Amino acid sequence: MQKNIATFFDKTREIASLTGDKLSSAFNKETHRFTITGLSRSGKSMLFTSLITMLKSRSEEGYACLPLLRYLPPSQVLDMHIEPIDGYKPFPHIQNIEDLENGQWPKATEEAFGFKLVVRLKETASLKRHVLPHSDVVFEFIDYPGEWVTDIPMLSKTYAHWSDSAWAQLSSGPQQYFANQWKAFVNQFDFEQEPTEQRIQLLVNAYRDYLVEAKANGISLLQPGSFLLESSDFDWQAFGFTPLPSSITSDVSHPWFNIFDKHFAKFQNGWLTPLKQSIFKETDKQIILVDLFEGLNHSRQHLYQLKETLSHLADTFVYGQSTWFSRNVLKKEQIGKVAFVATKSDLIPVSQRGNLLSLLMQITEGARARFDGKPILFEHFLVSSMQVTDDGSNEDAIRYKDTDGRYVESTFEPIPSTLKEMEEGSHFPVPDVSVPSDYKARILAGKGVDRLLQFLLGKGEQE
Amino acid sequence: MSDKPYKFDESPEPTRSSTLRRDALFGEASEQQANSEAQSHSVSEPGERDSGSVNKPQYKTKVKSQTLDIAQPETKLPQQVTEDVWEVEAKKGGISLGAATLGFGVISLLGFFVFEAYTTLVVNVSEHPIGTGVLGALLIGFVSCFSFLSFKEWRGYKQVNTAMEDASVIRNLLANQGIEPSAGKQPSAENQPSPEKIDRVLNQHGKRFSQGSYAAHCFDRYQQQLQDDMTGPERLGLYEDTVLKPVQEKAYKVLNKESVTAGSLAFISPNNLIQTFAVVWISFRTIRRMARVYGLRPSTAGNWKLLKVLAQNIAAQGVFDLATDEVANQIGGSLSAKFMENSAEAIAAGALNARLGRALIKLLK
């Protein structure tokens, strides 16, 4: 009899706890959708890898990292796990860690990956914890090649419009130095001949060579960025197009214009439109990653170009504050919080980081102008996903291990705090840092990620 | 390093702003941007033949590098919070100063007894040098230790008062930090206290925690998590998260445990005298343990307040005993009546101990 009663009580308790768990999972869930926007090489994949490593180490191994992340107090974190997002390949976190283990930086992203980070928090409110014992904080992240983001503005153009502007663009600014071969190729190309598949490929490959070289030299304003990826889902070999001289684009009956116009339409309808709908869907929080070193590594013109590119990227997204009605009934989200993040900030001395932050603020001026009159919360952050450098012998120096295995000290002249201060004809070469063997400790020592998450997760307050 | 093989033969001279390119690449909105930039572009007309010999520039480096003859230091993994093991009772290591004082006192007393016996026995050899020397040494030891102990107590009380002043400064800083900037505005750096000032206040506060206390343990963790790029308010927030809040939580946990113990002792006490002694003992133990959590001892003024609360508690417990006795008499002398009486007294003892603890927390936090 006693045994039966005990069994009955055990079962009742089990059912109650299961019900509580299910109720919690159903009602006590808080989902944060993040769009992480960044140009190619801005450090998106490394940021994701670090973020997962930091959160896992913090919740599973109890390491005291992310000290400023007050929104997820370690004492309340019960569990953390990664779930896939339907329609996306899982983010290769383990592969990236293995790469680091083997002394290689994670490979550049060439396709879209999606994942959810689910952090389960213990409920602390005395009454609520009996009914809903836990709450889930869900982070949805999508990693995609930075090359795609520069293509989205092409959606609203006609081929002729884009071609003329692309031609003007490659003849100006710092990219003009890398367009010589392409221009020479076009000059000797015979457009009187019919556009056969072979001839189209010749032209597309020559244009792509220019894009590749310009990208390798820090040019951020390159279209179509999708042509830069070998494994792009858009078949640019078969449906490629290039900008053409105005003598051709002004003649709508020209066979080369017609064929490229068709390919351009296919690029828009078959590639960019679905891309915008799936990857660049509306979310409520946005992180815009900016690699200022791409500009500092080259010239002031590169920095101006970065500023321009960023301000135009902001046009791609919908900003505003989502209401309960718009979010749950209309299923329409608007970005209400934006974090501008300068990555790889550990590559300059601590004494210069104030200047770097000021420079970041100036670079984002154009993008921020899109928020005028809207209740958008924004903030600027300096983030290092991994602290790869050590303090130098003086406050303007850093130390790091370069790719040749040498331990090097680099002393910096003052980083410009404004674009005007960047001396014409001078640059700040990016330290050529190798992956440190103690990469995990250095990921956990990464700075600014906690501050960034706290800002994005907090209920509207700025820390 | 990534120096590029550029030649700085020719820099593009600004001619006119390329609004055509901006507009076409990014749409109508880009026109707004067109005039705002200092950047200028030289523009080649589409179809322009031969772009000329525009050579790649060579830039002057603003970074000087030198190879060092040392290996890169290893970065340590951060401290694991799961290793947060802290015992309320301090580990006994050797003889404490208090025990030594008592020991010297007892030995001195015994010594005098022995000396007196000795002088009684050997009346004529009152000038016995060894006995006098030993007893004198013991007495000197006792007096010295007692003086040092008194000095330490006095210094401790002084420190507690200063710590309380620091705590009020920290509370003010935390209160000022709570002002939220409105949407889209940058947090104003002018209104924020400097990291140096906050560091000074927090370090002063942390330094006063007694060694081995929970507060000192938390303060160590705070110092390990400090990063050089943290702003003043961030340091303050971290201090709140890693020191102030955990200490407060720990204090309440310890208090709850002590109150349960007080209730249990009251429940099993066979008579009122033992119960009173038990309540007094557990009250002093609560004070001692809470002081171990906060790393501070109540100051003289605080002690008086606590003694007042303690006396009130004992009086209240006495009155409660009388009342429960009377109720038990009315019900009859059955076992259930005794059980009920003891249960009520246990609840009262627990509640009174909690009252004492809360007074203590108010004094120390």
Q: Are A288 and A339 in contact (CB under 8 A)?
A: yes
What's residue B23's pLDDT?
44
Quick one: A273 and A170 in the same domain?
yes
Q: Are A164 and B20 inside 8 Å of each other by CB?
A: yes
* B35 close contact with A: CB closer than 8 A: no
Same structural domain, A70 and A119: yes
- Angle at which helix B335-364 crosses helix B272-294, to 10 degrees, equals 30
Asked whether residue A289 falls in the same domain as residue A250, the answer is: no
Same domain for A450 and A303: yes
CA B306 to chain centre: 22
Q: Which helix (H) or strand (E) holds A363?
A: helix A353-363
Q: For chain B, say whether A285 makes contact (Cβ under 8 Å).
A: no
Nearest CA in chain B to A336: B183
> Do the domain assignments include residue A10?
no
Beta-bridge mates of residue A77: A121
Neighbours of B309 (CB within 10 A): 18
CB contact under 8 A, B25 and A430: no
Q: Residues of chain B whose pLDDT is less than 70?
A: 1-57, 81-96, 106, 110-111, 113-129, 131-133, 135-136, 138-140, 142-143, 146-147, 149-150, 152-161, 163-164, 177-192, 297-307, 328-336, 363-365
Which amino acid is present at B247?
A: V
**Both A222 and A170 in a single domain?**
yes
Task: Give pLDDT, residue A457.
Answer: 83
Helix/strand/coil for A209: helix
d(CA A383, CA A289): 10
- The number of C-alpha atoms within 13 Å of B285 and in the hemisphere containing its C-beta is 17
Q: What's the confidence (pLDDT) of residue B143?
A: 66
Rounded distance between C-alpha atoms, residue B252 and residue B244, angstroms: 13
Is there a domain that residue A12 lies in? no
CA A251 from centroid of its chain's CA atoms = 39
Alpha-carbon dihedral angle through residues A125, A127, A128, A130, given to the nearest 10 degrees = 120
Q: Which of A425, A436, A357, A353 shows the shortest CA–CA distance to A396?
A: A353
The last residue of one of the domains, among A254, A278, A302, is: A278
Record: contact A461-B180, CB cut-off 8 A: yes
The whole domain housing A207 covers: 152-278
Given an 8 Å threshold on Cβ–Cβ distance, is A68 in contact with B38?
no
Q: Report which secondary-structure segment, H or E, holds A181.
A: helix A180-188
C-alpha span between B49 and A186 (Å, rounded): 9
Residues near B332 by Cβ (< 8 Å), separated by ≥ 6?
A: none
Angstroms from B340 CA to nearest CA on chain A: 27
Taking the Cβ of residue B44 and every Cβ of chain A, the question of whether any pair is shorter than 8 Å is answered with: yes
Contact B72 A163 (CB under 8 A): no
The beta-carbon neighbor of B42 closest among A172, A183, A217 is A172
Nearest residue of B to residue A74, measured between CA atoms: B81
Inter-residue contact A330 to A345 (CB < 8 Å)? no
Q: Does the distance separating the beta carbons of B81 and A68 come in below 8 Å?
A: no
pLDDT at B56: 61
Is residue A109 within 8 A of residue A46, CB to CB? The reply is no
Neighbours of A186 (CB within 10 A): 23
Same-domain check for residues A452 and A319: yes
From first to last of the 463 residues of chain A, give the pLDDT tens digit. Answer: 455 655 665 665 555 555 555 555 555 667 777 777 777 778 888 998 998 899 888 888 888 888 888 888 887 888 888 888 887 888 888 899 999 999 999 888 777 888 888 888 887 766 666 667 778 888 888 878 877 878 888 888 899 989 988 888 888 777 888 888 888 898 888 888 888 888 898 999 999 999 988 888 878 778 888 888 876 677 887 888 999 888 888 888 889 999 999 999 999 888 888 887 777 666 778 888 888 888 888 888 888 888 888 887 777 766 666 565 555 555 556 677 888 999 999 999 989 999 999 999 999 998 888 887 778 888 999 999 999 999 999 999 999 999 898 999 999 999 999 988 888 888 898 888 999 999 999 999 999 999 998 888 876 544 3
* Contact status, residue B308 vs residue B333, Cβ threshold 8 Å: no
Choose the mutation target among B77, B182, B256 for the interface with A, i.e. most A CBs under 10 Å.
Answer: B77
Residue of chain A whose Cα is closest to the Cα of B232: A463
Instruction: From A245, A278, A311, give the residue that closes a domain.
Output: A278
Domain co-membership, A165 together with A297: no
Compute the distance between CA of residue B19 and CA of residue A206 in angstroms, rounded to an integer.
26
Give SS3 for B64.
strand
Burial class (CB in 10 A: 0-12, 13-18, 19+), B61: middle
Interface size between A and B, measured as CB pairs under 8 A: 265
* Minimal CA separation from B323 to chain A, in Å: 33
Asked if residue A450 and residue A334 are part of one domain, the reply reads: yes
Q: Which residues is A29 bridged to in the sheet?
A: A136
Chain A, window 300-329: residues with a beta carbon less than 8 angstroms from a chain B beta carbon: 301, 304-305, 307-308, 311-312, 315
> In 10 A of CB B243, how many CB atoms?
26
Q: SS3 sequence, A308-339?
A: HHHHHHHHHCCECCCCHHHHHCCCCCCECEEE
Q: In A, residues 85-124, which contact B (CB 8 Å cutoff)?
A: none
d(CA A426, CA B8): 10
CA-based torsion, B27, B31, B32, B36: positive or negative: positive
Nearest to B357 by CA among B309, B308, B323: B309
A165 interface with B at CB cutoff 8 Å: yes
Spatial distance between the Cα atoms of A407 and A333, rounded to a whole number of angstroms: 48
CA distance B173 to B177: 6
CB-based contact A244:A199 (threshold 8 Å): no
Q: What is the ipTM of this complex?
A: 0.70
User: Which of A278, A306, A335 is at the close of a domain?
Assistant: A278
Q: Chain A within 8 Å of B237 (Cβ-Cβ)? A: yes
Cα distances from B321 to residues B77, B141, B273, B288, B327, in angstroms, run 57, 46, 11, 26, 10
Q: Is residue A317 part of a domain?
A: yes
The answer to whether residues A178 and A273 belong to one domain is yes
Out of A168, A298, A315, closest to residue B27 by CB: A315
Residue B57, preceding peptide bond in cis (omega within 30° of 0):
no
Is residue A346 in a domain?
Answer: yes
Are A158 and A77 in the same domain?
Answer: no
> Is residue A333 situated within a structural domain?
yes
A323 within a domain of the structure (yes/no): yes
How many other β-carbons are positioned within 10 Å of the β-carbon of residue B312? 14
Q: Are A259 and A328 within one domain?
A: no
| pLDDT of the residue at B15 | 34
Q: State how far the Cα of A153 lies from the Cα of A139, in Å rounded to an integer.
A: 27
Chain A nearest-CA distance from B247, in A, is 14
Q: Are B59 and A426 in contact (CB under 8 A)?
A: yes
The distance from CA A361 to its chain's CA centroid, rounded to whole angstroms, is 18
Any idea where the domains of chain B sit in the sequence?
A: 95-157, 249-364
Give the residue carrying structure tokens 């404490």.
B96
Query: Residues 240..259 of B with a Cβ closer than 8 Å to A: which?
Result: 241-242
Tell me the two tokens of residue B175: 């209160």
Considering the domain architecture, whether residues A324 and A229 belong to the same structural domain is answered as no
Is the minimum CB–CB distance between A399 and chain B shorter than 8 Å? yes
Instruction: Report the alpha-carbon distance of residue A458 to residue A344 in Å, rounded.
Output: 24
Q: Looking up tokens 């201090």, which residue turns up? A: B239
Interface of A with B in 190-249 (CB under 8 A): 217, 221, 223, 243-249
Residue A341 lies in a domain: yes
State how many domains chain A has.
2
Nearest by CB to residue B2, choosing from A371, A432, A436, is A432
Question: Chain B residues with CB inside 8 Å of A223's CB?
Answer: 25
